[in-house]
């Protein structure tokens, strides 16, 4: 879940409570974590995929975000690229069930997502990799700025709240 920062620490605390008490945001994070664990299980040693932090708060300059931290140990026959590719595209962007949702998006959206929901990152000479999703991002090409937006919709989503979040 994601929510706007407050104007001061007290307002931030109120926003954090609102976020942590949101059943919709908890459901969204649980769905994303379930798919993430499944994606990791394809490339990690059996039994090594674990949630090591549940619904933790991350503070950003303008947003408050809840996250689950999930780790797994890559199998010996896999590398950072295998780990990366096992998560393309992120369920945050596609929806679930993932393959069905990706096919639905391809068939029904009026324009390709292109860079939106992809990744930007770096690969070290030692094979380590660090990437992040291209969400809440501006792309500038030939002097034209492009901004794309989306929202994770669930059965109990409120249309006004989803619009406010995007």
Domains of the chain: 2-157 (3.60.120.10)
Task: Give the model's pLDDT for residue 158.
Answer: 75
Indicate the Cα dihedral angle 150, 153, 156, 157, nearest 10°: 10
Task: Give the model's pLDDT for residue 165.
Answer: 65
Helical (H) or strand (E) element with 17: helix 9-20
Give the other-Cβ count within 10 Å of 91's Cβ: 22
| Euclidean distance between CA atoms 39 and 16, whole angstroms | 29
Confidence of residue 103 (pLDDT cuts 50, 70, 90): very high
- Residue-wise pLDDT tens digits, 16-71: 999 999 998 999 899 999 999 999 999 999 999 999 999 999 999 999 999 999 99
Percent of the chain with pLDDT over 70: 96
Residue 85, SS3 per DSSP: helix
Nearest CA-CA partner of 75 in 112, 42, 34: 42
40 strand-pairing partners? none
Confidence of residue 90 (pLDDT cuts 50, 70, 90): confident
Confidence of residue 166 (pLDDT cuts 50, 70, 90): low
Alpha carbons within 13 angstroms on the beta-carbon side of residue 83 total 21
């Amino acid at each position: 879940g994601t929510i706007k920062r407050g104007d001061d620490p007290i307002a931030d605390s109120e926003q954090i409570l609102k976020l942590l008490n949101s059943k919709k945001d908890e459901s969204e994070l649980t769905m994303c974590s379930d798919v993430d664990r499944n994606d990791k299980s394809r490339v990690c040693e059996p039994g090594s995929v674990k949630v090591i932090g549940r619904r933790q708060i991350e503070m950003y300059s303008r947003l408050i975000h809840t996250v689950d931290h999930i780790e797994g140990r890559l199998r010996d026959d896999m590398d950072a690229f295998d780990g990366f590719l096992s998560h393309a595209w992120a369920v945050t962007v596609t929806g679930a069930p993932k393959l069905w949702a990706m096919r639905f998006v391809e068939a029904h959206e009026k324009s390709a997502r292109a860079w939106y929901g992809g990744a930007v990152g770096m690969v070290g000479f030692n094979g380590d990799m660090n990437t992040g999703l291209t969400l809440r991002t501006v792309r500038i090409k030939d002097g034209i700025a492009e901004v794309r937006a989306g929202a994770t919709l669930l059965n109990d989503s409120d249309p006004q709240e989803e619009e406010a979040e995007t």
